[in-house]
Amino acid sequence: REVRLPPAVKFGVGVVMTEDMLVEQRELRCSEIYNDLLRPFDIPHFMFAWVRKSESKVQTIAIEGTLSHGAFDERAVARFSKVMPHLIRAARMREHFVSVRDSQHAYREAMETLPFGIVVLDEKGQIIEATSIAEEALSLGHALMQRDRRVHAKHTDDDRELQRTTRNAISSPAHTSVSAGTVTVRRVGASALKLTVLPIAAVDRFSM
């Protein structure tokens, strides 16, 4: 029942429209939307633009004006038109961030279901994140511990080998194929742990 919408479809993304560009005033004032919504709520005038328009999704932004405000003039449309490219970019960035957040959540959920702990390190060997199993192992300190945001082994000899293997992994060029290194770490009162140190070649760690 939105009589302004069908004629607005022919306009491209970012083009600012007013009601006068879309429908005759007589037709608008005879419409249900005008008499049931726009006039009772005193929002008969608007500037409108598509932020996104596709077969599966549309996003719009509109500034509404009261009867006393009157129709939006050419100066108002010109000012709004200057802002539209920034609003379009902001909307696209928001979609990207939402997508990354969803991917991160799915990635984290998948990591947590594994029967072993995982620690992700940055290019300096410092901890970015760790799953709950890995965090528990680091906090107990029976074989591993966290110091200066790095993973260390409790025994000196084990730690020396762990740091060497980690350095090799994080210093390997992204375009080369480097096999995983394994380190055996002794544990107090239990069998030893086996640590696998694997370089991630992808820039985006969520692609693992």
pLDDT digits (tens, 9 = 90+) for 185-196: 998 888 999 999
Lowest mean pLDDT among 11-15, 84-88, 169-173, 201-205: 201-205
* CA–CA separation, 145 and 126 (whole Å): 13
Confidence of residue 208 (pLDDT cuts 50, 70, 90): very low
**pTM > 0.85: yes or no:** no
pLDDT at 207 over 50: no
Q: What pLDDT sits at residue 69?
A: 93
More confident residue, 122 or 203: 122
Residues 6+ apart with CB under 8 A from 8: 17, 22, 48, 50
pLDDT at 206 over 90: no
Confidence of residue 68 (pLDDT cuts 50, 70, 90): very high
Three-state secondary structure readout of 121-172: ECCCCCEEEECHHHHHHHHHCCCEEEECCEEEECCHHHHHHHHHHHHHHHCC
Mean per-residue pLDDT, 84-98: 90
pLDDT digits (tens, 9 = 90+) for 166-185: 998 888 766 566 678 899 99
Mean per-residue pLDDT, 137-141: 92
